[in-house]
Structure 1
Amino acid sequence: MATINKSYFFLFFFFLSFALVIASDTDGTDQEEVQLDIYWKQRAEEAKKEAMQSFETDPEQVTEEFNSNVGELLMKQNGTRRHLRGNKKYNGPCMATNPMDACWRCDKNWAKNRKRLADCVQGFGKKTTGGKAGPIYVVTDPSDLDLVNPKPGTLRHAVIQKGPLWIIFARNMVIRLQQELLVTSDKTIDGRGANVNIHNGAGITLQFVKNVIITNLHIKKIVPKQGGMIRDSVDHIGRRTKSDGDGISIFGSSNVWIDHVSMENCADGLIDAIMGSTAITISNSHFTHHNDVMLFGASNSYTQDKIMQITVAFNHFGQGLVQRMPRCRHGFFHVVNNDYTHWLMYAIGGSMNPTIISQGNRFIAPPNQGAKEVTKRDHTAEAEWKNWEWRSEGDLMMNGAVFVQSGSGKSKHPAKMDLMPFKPGTYVAKLTKFSGALDCFVGKPC
């Protein structure tokens, strides 16, 4: 009997020990997930604080500042001269046609004074300095082979470094990202002086970060990726879920400037800004061959996007575009001096009471009689959207284009819409003449 009891005791102890080992392994996995949740929760809280600090309580003042600067530049130039579009065929002297470009472009020593660019942003992203306070990092290797321990000299290695960094490129290169590129705070990705293509791979993600400049890149044919273990900072590696295929995804981030990018044909959006992102300027860029161009605010239910404030200025919305230029929810959006030469469904849309100020844009409607309206209120009854502040002032409507206005000018965002005389839509061909990635050569004006 005693022998039997000892045998049962031995078996009981063996299975108990085995169960504890399994429990220990399971607890380790759970602990890793808990730590991961803590890491991203902390990042989200920090990003939220930064976003609230970047929120402009008087957005009208920002739009008026922007308009005044445009007016001052045009007063100095021959405002009646008309220019054909197409910077690629232009061989004349440097001609900076809008205030942001005038700040740096015609300096033949721009390559020695790269960081001057950080002083040139206007609109809601005006406080963005990127990597101005840090050293220059030269990308020499276009590969993206190791996502956990990125190779020094690659773009992925550059964007995860601590502190401010101004990232440039040693030569022309095509970078095929194996998974989304996770950029940390206080970075500038500066493609001037090289032909840099982010092509046929994953896109760029700004998640819970601040103070990022992206300029002079070609971004096209971005596709979804399955995710996996990716290093997102020097001190952290995490498992990422499947990416959507956005060209540039701005998620819970603030103080972002996207300038002089050429973008086309991505699986999802070209540029999406969601989850409380704010203080953003998108300027001087060229968008083509895409369906859902820009999404600002991911869902009707996420009311934190009420703090979203975005300036969209001096861009060319060109061939092969369908809709969402942009599509907005909740926030405040200044769409100013852009050239809309193509759309198939509509140009500017939204839901959930966004304030949209459209000033001095040129809208050339498509031949389709059913797509002449610039605007679209998504799945909302007129009784509701008639109170939204959607204002058009100084816009040039061509080929039957119609902007349906709404609101009274007395909402929470009182869009007073005083027309500035120096920026009507007739000037747009000039203001956006050099949109998209520029051909910049060291030692010459860009």
Structure 2
Amino acid sequence: MGNLHGLHRSHHGETPNATFPPYKAYGEESPALAPPSSSSPSGHHMTMVPYCHVDSSLRSLAGKAEGFGRAAVGGLNGPICRVTSLNDEGPGSLREACKRPEPLWIVFDVSGTIHLASFVSVSSHKTVDGRGHRVKITGKGLRLKECENVIICNLEFEGGVGPDADAIQIKPKSHNIWIDRCSLKNYYDGLIDITRESTDITVSRCHFMNHNKTMLIGADTSHVTDRCIRVTIHHCFFDGTRQRHPRVRFAKVHLFNNYTRHWSIYAVGAGVESQIYSQCNIYEAGEKKTVFKYIIEKAGDKEKPGAGFVRSEGDLLLNGAKSCLSQDGGERHVFSPTQHYAEWTIESPTEKLKNYLKHSTGWQNLPLPPDQLPTTA
């Protein structure tokens, strides 16, 4: 893990679930490589990719997210619940499992497509674990509403229809969320939207494709309470999606080791009061070259409009991509991740990283790891 500026404890008192030991760094250090398009990133670089050990046993995912979602343990303390039906609702369905109030580790005994007529509401303390099968969700998506401790892993989302149809919708007031290794494309609205005071969220190793408004963080200018939102997005592949990688209002967002290519409007949108720390990402332009777009808006409780703030450190710009960073020193207003978490796995933005992200993000053909706890229906 990149240990930037030393070890720090959170200034907000957050610690991972006590079941788990303190964060550990895996792998050996390798010399940092300075990308040609930006200043050399500070800190150390590791030869290992993140999450090398989370597939060793079923519940190894719990508490292992990097970044703001690191405290998410999902259904760690509950039994296994098996989805045995691809029906929208009823016994054995995903909907039935997700609405149960107790902690559950939800796995699938079937592969195929689940056609949803309405959002599936995911209640607190759930892991929706798609390892071991290939499950695609279509029609509507998953809604994380006023919940905590949710992990969603190794699912496909495609073909959402109707207004407000997001693949994964996180609002309002949800926290401690980890979205990992999901493939998402072609929904009517967003693929992952994080709004309305939802915070402490990590999105990792996801593959986004064939979409317009990819990821919104922060609802609109009237929702000034979205100043609490904190999101980490890392090791994701934004594959020809048009815009919003992400588009941010009010929130603090840490982007690292993502690969964004061939956007058709802009790559990252910095709206009102946003703080975006973009670190060691790869931005490969198509016809449109602007990486960071500053979007001027007026917060509901302010008199003057303004855009957000971006700090770009170690980013690699390819095929004529232009950062278009503000020249007014606004990067001084961007938070440092070490104010909130001590370590994260990071490497230089190289061809090797690009190839890894092209082939190792999104749904993966993985066996379901073993678990020692008893199974219940």
Q: Normalising to structure 2: TM-score of the pair?
A: 0.79
TM-aligned CA distance change 1:79 to 1:191, over 3 Å = farther
Is residue 2:41 matched to residue 1:121? Answer: no
How far does residue 299 in structure 1 lie from its aligned partner after superposition? 0.4
Partners of 1:188 and 1:212 within 8 A in 2: yes
Matched with 1:161 is 100
Matched with 2:209 is 288
Matched with 1:393 is 313
Is residue 2:284 matched to residue 1:364? Answer: yes
Partners of 1:180 and 1:204 within 8 A in 2: yes
Aligned ranges for residues 32-431 of structure 1 at < 5 Å? 57=11, 73=27, 75=29, 98-100=49-51, 102-105=52-55, 107=56, 113-144=57-88, 150-199=89-138, 201-224=139-162, 244-252=164-172, 253-319=174-240, 321-366=241-286, 368=287, 371-379=288-296, 388-406=308-326, 407-411=329-333, 413=335, 423-426=347-350, 428-429=353-354, 431=356
Cα RMSD over matched residues?
Answer: 3.0
Q: 1:440 aligns with which of 363, 366, 373?
A: 366
TM-aligned CA distance change 1:122 to 1:154, over 3 Å = same
Cα deviation 1:389-438 (Å, max 9, x = unaligned): 30111111111111133444543736799xx9962211532552410100
Matched with 1:18 is none
TM-aligned CA distance change 1:264 to 1:151, over 3 Å = same
Partners of 1:125 and 1:255 within 8 A in 2: yes
Q: Matched residues in 1 for 2:155 and 2:114: separation?
A: 11
Q: Normalising to structure 1: TM-score of the pair?
A: 0.67
How far does residue 116 in structure 1 lie from its aligned partner after superposition? 1.0
How far does residue 74 in structure 1 lie from its aligned partner after superposition? 6.0
Cα deviation 1:91-148 (Å, max 9, x = unaligned): xxxxx95222x1224x3xxxxx21111132110000000001100000001111xxxx
Partners of 1:275 and 1:305 within 8 A in 2: yes
Partners of 1:70 and 1:99 within 8 A in 2: no
Partners of 1:281 and 1:311 within 8 A in 2: yes
What SS does the aligned partner of 2:96 have? helix
Q: Matched residues in 2 for 1:401 and 1:409: separation?
A: 19
How far does residue 355 in structure 1 lie from its aligned partner after superposition? 0.4
Q: Matched residues in 2 for 1:343 and 1:412: separation?
A: 24
Aligned length in residues: 327
TM-aligned CA distance change 1:338 to 1:162, over 3 Å = same
Cα deviation 1:218-266 (Å, max 9, x = unaligned): 1010112xxxxxxxxxxxxxxxxxx611111000211110000000000
TM-aligned CA distance change 1:277 to 1:344, over 3 Å = same
Cα deviation 1:42-66 (Å, max 9, x = unaligned): xxxxxxxxxxxxxx6469x99xxxx
Q: Matched residues in 2 for 1:415 and 1:188: separation?
A: 26
TM-aligned CA distance change 1:159 to 1:422, over 3 Å = closer
* Matched letter for residue 102 of structure 2: G
Partners of 1:297 and 1:330 within 8 A in 2: yes
Q: Matched residues in 1 for 2:293 and 2:271: separation?
A: 9
Cα deviation 1:164-199 (Å, max 9, x = unaligned): 100000021210012111111110100000000102
TM-aligned CA distance change 1:329 to 1:57, over 3 Å = farther
Partners of 2:26 and 2:48 within 8 A in 1: no
TM-aligned CA distance change 1:280 to 1:159, over 3 Å = same
Cα deviation 1:70-104 (Å, max 9, x = unaligned): 9853637x999xxxxxxxxxxxxxxx95222x122
Q: Which has the higher Rg, Structure 1 or Structure 2?
A: 1
TM-aligned CA distance change 1:74 to 1:363, over 3 Å = farther
Cα deviation 1:304-362 (Å, max 9, x = unaligned): 1101000000000113x110010000010001100112211111003111000000000
Partners of 1:361 and 1:428 within 8 A in 2: no
Q: Matched residues in 1 for 2:32 and 2:291: separation?
A: 26
What SS does the aligned partner of 1:159 have? helix
Matched with 2:374 is none
Q: Matched residues in 2 for 1:442 and 1:203: separation?
A: 23
What is the aligned-residue identity percentage? 35
Unaligned stretches of 5+ residues in structure 1: 1-55, 63-68, 81-95, 108-112, 145-149, 225-242
What SS does the aligned partner of 1:305 have? helix
